[in-house]
Structure formats: structure tokens, C-alpha cells
Amino acid sequence: MDADGPLTPLRFQPILKRLIWGGRRLGSKLHKELGPEADYAESWELSDHRHGQSVVAEGPLAGASLHDLVMTRGTELLGEAVGPREQFPLLLKFLDANQVLSVQVHPDDEQGRRLADDNGKTEAWVVIDAEPSSLIYAGLRAGVDRLGFAEALEHGRIAEVLHAFEPKAGDCIFIPAGTVHAIGAGVLLAEVQQMSDATFRVDDWGRVGPDGSPRALHLTEAIEVTDYERGPVDPVRSRPDQIDGGTREHLIRCPYFALDRYVLTGSTRIGDPQHGRFTALIGLGGKAVVWHDGQPYPVELGQTLLVPASVGACPIEPSGEGEAIVLTCTVP
């Protein structure tokens, strides 16, 4: 195999981000190699963004950036159905909220370009672990309008206007652009989103940053981009379907991404048999292995694998004791 040969499933080096709300679970639960610090917040698993560029970790393309691959081998990587792009369309992350994150809201594409020189940001989360009585804040309570929201911000009463629930492992939450949200302390999750880092911070719970002063808020932008029709947001209600080798659950279909969850007790196939689109896999539980050209590609809890469109569908099966849980992500 050489660097110009056919693409194989690709693994990338995680990009670790330290932020004041982070913790240690990216290491203790997801097996990332951390330094000694106590504030590891995010692992960017697949990113083609100016704030973090994924690099192939192993194999003949080791050292190549995701962006280089999109520009030089776009059709093989992304697929005809996704089309040529200037940027990989999805950003995949793990987040460890050791403390609550700021309350925030993201713009749509038009607002993102105008206000943040970035794409819009519609995102979705799948909870991996949640400590008892941890919270997720998602959407405004019923009846909260622009004026009520602005008044709550002004008087430091943000918690009174946010909808909140206690998440449990496996919950999937859909956060379209414009949905006010905060991930609470104790939640570990996988996030799939548009390739964007455009965030407007609404409220930071009175906290100060590492330099002792409050982190910047973006109230004008936040009040503009908030969707006041969205209302309270609870986990998606989807049902698993029986398939050969386990179950498959269509979690989310939106214009930006399609997410399916596989719970595997035996062998099945994963990826697009028509070679029309890539499939990114995220290990959410247990151990699975993808086979391609006689080579094994592990997808264990905390691991991410990108199956290029040119690779097509591959066998996947559990490789440890018990079932394996894998999230698949692609562009519809």
C-alpha cells in the first residue's frame, strides 16, 4: 500500500482542548492520552477547521490533514452524493463536562457567515455517561419570548427561562441552530455538528475564566439568533429496528447529517454500498471491529473511524465480550 493507492478506513489523531469546565474522563472513560492537567474538555475526533485540523494517525497517509484529503481526494473520500467541498462537512467530538458549560446558542449558515465568519452550527449529542442528577439545559421554557429572554439575561435569572432535564446514557439530543443550551456538570457525550466553531455565549453562571475575569458574552448576537419558536427540547424518541447482527436506530435525519446507532451482538455491514457517501463511526460502548481488505480496524468506546465513500460497505462485528455500540454519521 502506498499513499497514492486506494483509500482505506482512516483513523485521525485526537485534538485535545483544555477549557475551564473540562475534567479527566476523556482519559479515564474514553482512553485518550492526557497530560497531568485537570481540565480536558473536548477531543476533536474529526475536524477540518481553522481552530483544529485532524491529521491521519497511521497507515500510508499518516501525517496528511483531513483538509488535504478533502482537496486532493475529495470524490473518493466524500463520495459523489456529498459532492466536491472546500471543507469536510462534519465535526465530531467527545466532551467531558466536569463543570457546567456556559449557556450558549449557535447561528445558522447565513448568520454564521455574517456574524462569525464561519458556517452555521446545528449539532446533536449522544450521552455516554451522566452522573446522577446531572442536567442538560435545552431550549427555552414554553412561553418565553425575546423580551422575557432578554430580561432574564439582564437580571441574571437565565436558569428560570431554560428547559432542563436529567439525561441518561444513550439519550440523543438534537440542537438545531438557534436552540439555547448548556451541558451540565457530570455529562460525558459524543457530539456531531456542522463544521463550525461559531458560538455565542449567553451566560456563564457568574463564573470567571482562568485569568480571573469573566469570559466574554455575546448578548446582542445571542438574542438575534435565538429561535423563540423552538420551545423545550427533550431527547429524541426513536426506536431500534432489528437487523442481522443486532439493532439499528435512526436517531437523526436533518439537512446536515444523518445519525444511526447500531447495537451489535453479531456481524453486519456498515457504510454506503453505493459508494455515494462517507461514513464516520464513533465507538459509544464495548468493542467493535470493521474489516476491509482483510485488515481489522477497531472501533472501541472512545474511538472514531472514517470510512471513505470509495471503500463502500464493510463488515463490522463485536470484538470483545458483550455487545458493541457504534454511532454512524454521514451527510444525507
Active-site residues, by number, are 201
Cβ atoms of 68 and 41 within 8 Å: the answer is no
DSSP states along 289-317: EEEETTEEEEEETT-EEEE-GGG--EEEE
Going by C-alpha positions, the residue among 236, 258, 244, 247 that lies closest to residue 325 is 247
Cβ atoms of 318 and 268 within 8 Å: the answer is no
Residue 100 three-state SS:
coil
Place of cell 474538555: 41
Question: Which residues lie closer than 8 Å to 153 by C-beta, 6 or more apart?
Answer: 202, 203, 219, 223
User: How far is CA 107 from its chain centroid?
Assistant: 17
Grid coordinates given for 62:
499518516
Count CB atoms within 10 A of the CB of residue 213. 8
27-29-30-32 Cα dihedral, nearest 10 degrees: 10
Task: Return the sign of the alpha-carbon dihedral for residues 173, 177, 180, 182.
Answer: positive
Radius of gyration of the chain (CA): 20
Residue 15 three-state SS:
strand
User: How far is CA 272 from its chain centroid?
Assistant: 21
Please tell me the distance from the alpha carbon of residue 233 to that of residue 226, in angstroms, as a whole number.
14
